[in-house]
Structure 1
Amino acid sequence: MEEGKLWCCVVMVLTLMRSACGQLKAGFYSSSCPNAEGIVRSTVQSHFNQDPTIAPSLLRLHFHDCFVQGCDGSVLISGSSAEKTALSNTGLRGFEVIDDAKSQLEASCLGVVSCADILAWAARDAVVLTGGPSWSVPTGRRDGTVSLSSQASNLPSPLDPVSVQRQKFSAKGLDDHDLVTLVGAHTIGQTDCRFFSYRLYNFTATGNSDPTINQSFLGQLQAMCPKNGDGLRKVALDSGSAAKFDVSFFKNVRDGNGVLESDQRLWEDSATRSEVQKYAGTVRGLFGLRFDFEFPKAMIKMSSIEVKTGSQGEIRKVCSKFN
């Protein structure tokens, strides 16, 4: 009898897990708004043509959304205490792209497409426009009704050691492989001098630089970010291939040319180092193809974090405010 009850519980849990995984699906809007994906794609393309740096910003926007309250568009909400005002969300860009796509979708399919799904599509399109792989984006997310800056404390930081990065990713159901693969998005990103200049001049409080930085690269970084210089100056996270979605980021980490401390530390941990090694290599050789295959899988997994579906949440009329 007890064994029977136990088996029923196992079956129930497995059924619920399959149900949760199956709530999102590619082609969710095929009948209700068949042009939705194309509208988002053309909108992202238009903004990218005017400013190619918007691509990594859209990718970062989706990532930051998913890590707080799940992938529910909560990062898009405006307000003095909203999620986007958190310190860890400093520098987020791309809101106007999502708003533009939403206004066009509302004109075409009133009240149908969620802001959360627009974000997921836009992130994929940003990768494609920079030479990266494409993938079929599962959709059906609903928009959340909570957005608080106080809940953004679990976002990864450039100061995080691997142990903390691992904990933050693990809390969202992502493993070491997902961690390294998703951080690979920094192949098209950039950052401010203020977020890493401490590595260049006074890392040990005795005037030394971070010893993990390749010495020739250290000179380049110091030239771009002089002591007491402009902390807002932009520096590419992927030296030598900043505008192209490829594997050179991993090669840089392997060679001590990681800009952010959190990126370079991936080479110091044995588990994440082995993942970096899998990708580091020629830009479009065997390793590049592996990254092209693994990145979409990691993105689909990440974009399914704590999603709201069915009757949960809402479909916002305007992405920056609740209905």
Structure 2
Amino acid sequence: MEKIRVILSAELLVFVMFSIAEAPPSANLSLNFYDVSCPSAELMVRNTVRSASSVDPTTPGKLLRLLFHDCLVEGCDASVLLQGNRTEQSDPANNSLGGFSVIDSAKGVLEVFCPGTVSCADILALAARDAVETMIKIFSSKGLSLEDLVTLSGAHTIGIAHCSAFSDRFEKDSKGNLTLIDSSLDGTYAEELMKRCPAGASLSVTVHNDPETSFVFDNQYYQNLQAHKGLFQSDSALFSDNRTRKQVDDFANDQVGFFESWGQSFLKLTSIGVKTGDEGEIRRSCSATNM
């Protein structure tokens, strides 16, 4: 699998790129890895993400989810982009992943200007970073423990979900209608979800993760949890569990604090299982290993 050589952090809202030097795995981190080999790498990825997001506002959520699935399975090695049998993409659990075309587009541009230089793993990490930056561009300020879990769950402030992803909160009665069986979900919100996702709804039907500010990366997700409007059962659990409830309340009342924690937890996430030095390869195409 590929190496990831850029590690992303943030001070409030401005994300800063770091990299792992082209050296043995124990090497220290250094700044601006592509400054010499491909000075415009970040700009090209950022422009690709912004262009795609302007056409499809669900793009940022897709890119964030794509990165999470990549990093949490085999480490941040872009293996989720590989196509074919017995790949991560072929796993039914990943059927709803999207954003692949954005990564392919960015890779295509980079291969023209900096052939064989920028890894797909780095492109994916940069694209996910820029996806968040795209969502919060109206702000100008600078900004995987249990705490990281609460923080990274905040990614549900944007994006969409298929009805099947939260169907376990309902059951079908004898007449074929859905009824709410999860008392942790707000009744009015549940009614809205059942209207959007009735029994027998098409597999293509989706709802927004955040019913309030679905296209803005903000702290509304945590306010939704306080109002018992977490879309997934795992979301609601963060508010009902005494170990995590205080952090939910803190983030709901402090957006800057959420952004600061997001930067720190995002750095941890994109450091999982990184490949450095002679490990991995820089693929010519993100969807296949080099021959």
| TM interval, short-chain normalised | 0.7 to 0.9
SS in structure 2 opposite 1:67? Answer: helix
Greater Rg, structure 1 or structure 2? Answer: 1
User: 1:109 — aligned with what?
Assistant: 114
The C-alpha deviation readout for 1:219-267, integer Å capped at 9, x for no partner, is 2112211223334311111111100001111111121101111111111
AA aligned to 1:85 is: S
Instruction: Identify the match of residue 178 of structure 1 among 141, 148, 169.
Output: 148
AA aligned to 1:191 is: A
In structure 1, distance between residues paired with 2:110 and 2:266 = 24
1:197 paired to 2:167: yes
**What's the % identity of the aligned pairs?**
42
SS in structure 2 opposite 1:226? Answer: coil
95 and 104 in structure 1: CA distance in 2 versus 1, 3 angstrom threshold = same
The C-alpha deviation readout for 1:184-240, integer Å capped at 9, x for no partner, is 00001210112112313359xx96521111112122112211223334311111111
Shift of 1:39: 0.8
1:86 paired to 2:56: no
In structure 2, distance between residues paired with 1:191 and 1:24 = 36
In structure 2, distance between residues paired with 1:258 and 1:177 = 18
1:290 paired to 2:262: no
The C-alpha deviation readout for 1:76-106, integer Å capped at 9, x for no partner, is 1111211111122121111111111111111
In structure 2, distance between residues paired with 1:200 and 1:97 = 35
43 and 208 in structure 1: CA distance in 2 versus 1, 3 angstrom threshold = closer
Shift of 1:272: 1.7
AA aligned to 1:253 is: L
The C-alpha deviation readout for 1:261-299, integer Å capped at 9, x for no partner, is 111111122112222111113xxxxx0111111111111
Higher helix share: 1
1:304 paired to 2:271: yes
How many residues are matched? 261
The two structures have a TM-score, normalised by structure 1, of 0.76
Q: Which has the higher contact order (CA 8 A, sep 6+)?
A: 2
User: 1:317 — aligned with what?
Assistant: 284
In structure 1, distance between residues paired with 2:119 and 2:35 = 14
Instruction: Identify the match of residue 211 of structure 1 among 180, 183, 188.
Output: 183
Q: More displaced, 117-126 or 262-271?
A: 262-271
Instruction: Identify the match of residue 60 of structure 1 among 39, 54, 65.
Output: 65
Instruction: Identify the match of residue 265 of structure 1 among 215, 221, 237.
Output: 237
127 and 217 in structure 1: CA distance in 2 versus 1, 3 angstrom threshold = same
User: 2:38 — aligned with what?
Assistant: 33
SS in structure 2 opposite 1:274? Answer: helix
In structure 2, distance between residues paired with 1:193 and 1:118 = 30
Asked if the contact 1:99/1:319 (under 8 Å) is kept, the reply is yes
**Unaligned 5+ runs, structure 2:** 1-23
54 and 255 in structure 1: CA distance in 2 versus 1, 3 angstrom threshold = same
RMSD of the alignment, in Å?
2.2
What pairs with 1:248-263 in structure 2 (closer than 5 Å)? 248-263=220-235
Asked if the contact 1:105/1:113 (under 8 Å) is kept, the reply is yes
Asked if the contact 1:128/1:134 (under 8 Å) is kept, the reply is no
198 and 20 in structure 1: CA distance in 2 versus 1, 3 angstrom threshold = same
